[in-house]
Structure 1
Amino acid sequence: MAQAVQASIGDSEFDRDTAVTLRAPGVYDAELSAGWTIISAVNGGYLLALLGRALGDALPHPDPFTVSAHYLSASQPGPAVIRTSVVRTGRTLSTGQASLLQYGEDGAEIERIRVLATYGDLDTLPDDVRTTAKPPVMPAIQDCLGPSDGPAPKIPGSSAITDRLNIKLDPATVGWVVGAPSGKGEMRGWFSLADGRDADPFSLLLTVDALPPTSFELGLKGWTPTVELTTHIRCRPAPGPLRVSIATRNLAGGFLEEDAEVWDSADRLVAQSRQLAKAPRG
C-alpha cells in the first residue's frame, strides 16, 4: 500500500481552507470551511488564522506578532468577506485592523470578528532569551490519549474539526470524558495537524484555541464561545509536534479566562494567548 504523503506548509488542507482572494484594495473574499466546525460554529482559532492571512497580505511585514480579536457573532460555514485597513507602518513593525463579515438572510452584512494586529519579521529577532517559563510536564506522546483510545465524549453538534487535528491529551486532564473531571481547570496535550503539516506562525493562531476548553475539567460541557482572544507569536516553530498547556483560574459571573502556552520540539515557547469566554450552561 502506498504511504500517504505528508502535507507541507503552503500545500495542505489548512492552507487551502485559510486562503483569501483579493477582491479590491484591502478587501478579501474567503470561504469558511465546514471542516473546522465544533458544536454549532466555526472554530475561533481557525477564523483567527484566516484573518491573519488577510492581514499578512495587506501589511508590509510577513509575520503576526500580536493579534487581538473580539468575536461579535458566531460564524457559519460559507462565504465571507474580510475588510482590512493599515493603521501604521514602520521599519520593523506594522499594525492593521480587519473585520470578517458574512451575509444575513436579508443580504445585510453581519460583522463576525474584529481584529487589531501588529506584524513584523520573526527571522530578524535577536537570539537572546531570558525566561523563567518551563515546558509543561506531561507524559510522552505515546502515553497520552486521543479519540481512538477510549469512548468518544458526548458533545452535541458538529465535531468535524477533530478529524483535522492530531491531539493527544495528558491523561490527568481527561477525567471529563468519563464523567470524572478533576476540577482543576487545566488542559494539556500534544498537538499537530492530522495531515502532518508542520506548524508556522499562522497555524499557531489555530493551535491556541484547538484543545477542548478547560471548562470541561470543571465539570461543564457544551459550547464555550470566545468573547476576546489575544495571541502573541514569539518565534517561528521548529518542525515536529507542539505541546500545549491551557489553564483557567477564575470562572465567575458566567465567564472564564484561559491562558495558553505553546511549546515546540526545541523546547521554545513559540506562542502565548489569553482569552475571555462564556462558560457553558451545563
Structure 2
Amino acid sequence: MTATAPLLADETWFDRTTSVHRRSPGTYAVELDTSWSSLTGIHGGSMVAMAVRAAQDHEPGRPVRTVATSFLRPGQPGPAELRIEPVRRGRSLTTLSVVLEQGDRPVLTSRMTLVEARPGESWEKLEASGVAPVEASIPLDPPAEAGLVPHFDHATALLDPAHVPFSRSADARVGGHVRPLEPRPIDAAWLAMILDWFPPSPFTRLDPPTGGVSIDLTVHLHRTRAVLGDDEWLEGRFRADVSHGGLALEHGRIADADGTLLAESFHTRWTG
C-alpha cells in the first residue's frame, strides 16, 4: 500500500524527521533521516521517538508511560518500517510490542505500556540535582575526537562544566540544561528522544565509542508539559555509577526547572 501523509504535526524539524505514516493497521512507514546520524548509525532516541508516535496513533487516548527498547543493530539513513502487535488491552492499560525493521532486518524492538489517565495515589520527593545553574553552564560543543555527531543539532543545551566529556573524571556523570531547538510541546516522543540525546555519561571517563553504544533503553514518562517560555530550560542529569562485565548502567532524569520530574531512563551502554 502507498504511504499516507504524516499522521502528526510536522511544524518543527524534530516533528518532520520523526514523522510516521500509517500504511495499514499496525504498520507504519518511516524515513531515518541523515540529520539524526550519531556515533554508529542513526541516533537510537530518534527511532524510539518514531515508535512512540506510532503507538500513540495506534492507541489514541492512552498515553505512553513506559518504553523498554533493545537496540539490535544500527539503523541507517533511508526508509524503514514500524510494526505494532498488541500484547494485551485491558480496561485502562495497553501493552504493545513494536519492531522497527529496515531491509527486512529488525533494528530495534520495544515493549510499551500505555495507561489511560485516571486518579490514583501520587507523591514526589524533590531533591537538589547538583547540576550547575544555567548562568554557570557552558554550550555543548563536541570536540573533534568525537567525530561528526549531527544528532546534537536537534536541541539546544548547556552543560555543567564540572562534568564534561573526555575530562577523565572519576565520575561517569553528565548534566546540564536543554530545550527544543524550535518551540514545541514537551511530549512523550520528545522526552523519549532527549533521554538518549545528551553525551553518554561514561564519556567523562572513557574515549568514544566505548561507553556510548546503546544496548537497552528503558524510559518512564511521568508527565508532559506545554511549550517552554523563551527563558525556560529543562534540566538533565545522567550518571553511570556501575560498569561491570562490559555493561554500564546509566540513570537519566529530565526535570522542570523547579525539580519536578518529567521522565527518567535506565540505559545500558557497552563498555567492553
TM bin (shorter chain):
0.7 to 0.9
Distance 1:168 1:198 in 2: 20
Among candidates 111, 114, 117, match of residue 116 of structure 1: 111
Per-residue CA shift, 1:70-99, capped at 9, x if unaligned? 111111111001111111222222111110
Among candidates 174, 180, 184, match of residue 171 of structure 2: 184
Q: Residues 62-81 of structure 1: matches in 2 within 5 Å?
A: 62-81=62-81
Q: Which residue number in structure 2 is paired with residue 228 of structure 1? A: 216
Alignment check: 8 A CA contact 1:59 1:96 kept = no
Per-residue CA shift, 1:245-265, capped at 9, x if unaligned? 111111122211110111023
Q: Which residue number in structure 2 is paired with residue 246 of structure 1? A: 238
How has the CA–CA distance of structure 1 residues 234 and 125 changed in structure 2, closer, same or farther, with 3 Å as cutoff?
Answer: farther
The CA deviation at 1:133 is 4.2
Q: Residues 36-47 of structure 1: matches in 2 within 5 Å?
A: 36-47=36-47
Alignment check: 8 A CA contact 1:40 1:158 kept = no
1:259 aligns with 2:251: yes
How has the CA–CA distance of structure 1 residues 77 and 135 changed in structure 2, closer, same or farther, with 3 Å as cutoff?
Answer: farther
1:25 aligns with 2:13: no
Q: Which residue number in structure 2 is paired with residue 161 of structure 1? A: 151
Among candidates 171, 196, 201, match of residue 161 of structure 2: 171
The CA deviation at 1:220 is 2.9
Give, as a single letter, the amino acid of the residue that structure 2 aligns with 1:244.
Answer: G
> Number of paired residues?
259
Among candidates 183, 204, 219, match of residue 191 of structure 2: 204
TM-score by length of 1: 0.85
Distance 2:225 2:60 in 1: 22
TM-score by length of 2: 0.88
Give, as a single letter, the amino acid of the residue that structure 2 aligns with 1:213.
Answer: P
Among candidates 126, 134, 139, match of residue 141 of structure 1: 134
Gap runs ≥5 in structure 1? 1-8, 104-108
Q: Which residue number in structure 2 is paired with residue 35 of structure 1? A: 35
Give, as a single letter, the amino acid of the residue that structure 2 aligns with 1:113.
Answer: L
Alignment check: 8 A CA contact 1:237 1:264 kept = no
Calculate the aligned-residue CA RMSD, in Å. 2.0
Alignment check: 8 A CA contact 1:239 1:265 kept = no
Distance 2:72 2:177 in 1: 30
How has the CA–CA distance of structure 1 residues 126 and 143 changed in structure 2, closer, same or farther, with 3 Å as cutoff?
Answer: farther
Distance 1:67 1:226 in 2: 15
Gap runs ≥5 in structure 2? 1-8
Alignment check: 8 A CA contact 2:168 2:206 kept = yes
Alignment check: 8 A CA contact 2:178 2:236 kept = yes
Distance 2:128 2:64 in 1: 22
Query: Post-superposition, which runs of at least 4 consecutive aligned residues in structure 1 deviate over 6 A?
Result: none
Give, as a single letter, the amino acid of the residue that structure 2 aligns with 1:243.
Answer: E
